[in-house]
Amino acid sequence: MNRGRRSRVFAPSPRNPVEPLIAPPTFSIVIPAYEAAGTIGDAIRSALSQAHPAHEVIVVDDGSTDDLEGALHPLRDQVTLIRKDNGGAASARNAGAAAATGDFLAILDADDAYHTRRLQALADLASSRPDLDLVTTDARFVVDGEGVGTFLAHNPFPVEDQRTAILESCFVGGWPAVRLSRLRAIGGFDESFRIASDWDCWLRLILSGSLAGLVDEPYYDYVLHAGSLAASRVASLWARVRLLEKAADNPSLHPGERPVLARSLRRQRTRAALAETRAALFDSGSRRRLSKLTLARGIETRARAFAALALAAPPLARRLAPRGRPPDQRFLADP
């Protein structure tokens, strides 16, 4: 994966002098699983085959109705299994965090995979920079088994002013390892978010003083499912609006950061409104919301105008509106 070059590390300068750790921290890999019998085996095997062994691998069965038990059977004695009622990814991660005993909680989704050297890269970074509470690597996007790009190629990782940057995009991605004591100190993942709970969590961590670092190697395979419903994208974008609205009440937010948050909110509301209008025109989205979007505050005029045109003259709106996202925006953290 390295191909002969030395891995780059992106991280802010330490606020105070730091001494490398004598022994590396431990990592508890938590895998939330819901209806994941077809993929969970490969995810677990990638977690168990790390060059730097995991402290433990915890699978959280989030109320699955498929044969997850059968899929786990060959690996059952190598993992800790937690069963719970269905509550979503944030709930499952919190359940895993409650049971974890490592220094860091390392996230792995049930349809994704770790490269063999991922934990080693995370351990090396966390050992050399014990002041970092979030450590991660680049990720490879995978569609139908083929790599189609990397996260870092489309999402610069800021090393300066991460407080401002986290208000603008989830630059950490959705798969870092997080220091467990800090995760617990901020109350874990917000279970009211079915989508975007990761961005909300990293935002609260960074605003409360945490720093994040990244190793520039695509050691995480993130599977993109082709043909996902437009409605899912709309829900995801409105969830981002809600988490930024929540951030406005964060007591750790500095006055000078509020204009950045306001601009980010306006941009996310505009993107959500445009996506919802496109869904109403081209997919199964409801046209009932279009009249509300034409009057919505906090979004750009172009989004209200597009909603008004879609409401009044759908054929014309379809001719004028592009159906898909620009190719250079497919992998943006804040699409």
DSSP 135-160: EEEEEEEEETTEEEEEHHHHS---SS
pLDDT for residue 325: 53
Q: How far apart are CA 34 and CA 31, in angstroms?
A: 10
Beta-sheet pairing, 146-150 with 134-143: antiparallel
77 CB-contact burial (10 Å; exposed 0-12 / middle 13-18 / buried 19+): exposed
Identity of residue 259 = P
223: left (phi over 0), alpha (psi -120 to 50) or beta: beta
Per-residue pLDDT of the chain (335 residues; tens, 9 = 90+): 445 567 899 999 999 999 999 999 999 999 999 999 999 999 999 999 999 999 999 999 999 999 999 999 999 999 999 999 999 999 999 999 999 999 999 999 999 999 999 999 999 999 999 999 999 999 999 988 888 899 999 999 999 999 999 999 999 998 999 999 999 999 999 999 988 999 999 999 999 999 999 999 999 999 887 544 445 788 889 999 999 999 999 999 999 999 999 999 999 999 999 988 988 888 765 677 788 888 888 999 999 999 999 989 988 988 887 655 543 344 455 43
pLDDT tens, 320-333?
876 555 433 444 55
Strand stretches in 46-200, DSSP E? 56-62, 80-84, 104-107, 113-114, 134-143, 146-150, 177-179
Predicted local confidence at residue 329, as pLDDT: 44
Taking Cα atoms as reference points, which of 66, 145, 54 lies closest to residue 102? Answer: 54
Amino acid at site 205: L
Contacts of 303 (CB under 8 A, 6+ apart): 269, 270, 273, 274, 277, 293, 296
Look at residue 284 in the predicted model and tell me its pLDDT.
64
Contact 215/9 with Cβ under 8 angstroms? yes
Neighbouring CB atoms inside 10 A of 193's CB total 20
Domain 9-223 top-level CATH class = alpha beta
Distance CA 60, CA 88 (A): 11
Domain residue ranges in the chain: 9-223, 230-320
> Residue 87 is which amino acid?
G
Q: Which residues lie closer than 8 Å to 73 by C-beta, 6 or more apart? A: none
Would you state the structure tokens that stand for residue 291, as one six-digit string? Answer: 């009249």
**What pLDDT, on the 0 to 100 scale, is given for residue 84?**
95
How many angstroms from the chain centroid is the CA of residue 156? 15
Q: Do the beta carbons of residue 68 and residue 36 sit within 8 Å?
A: yes
In this prediction, residue 126 carries a pLDDT of: 98
The 3-class SS string of 317-330 reads: HHHHCCCCCCHHHC
Q: Residue 14, Cβ neighbours under 10 Å: how many?
A: 12
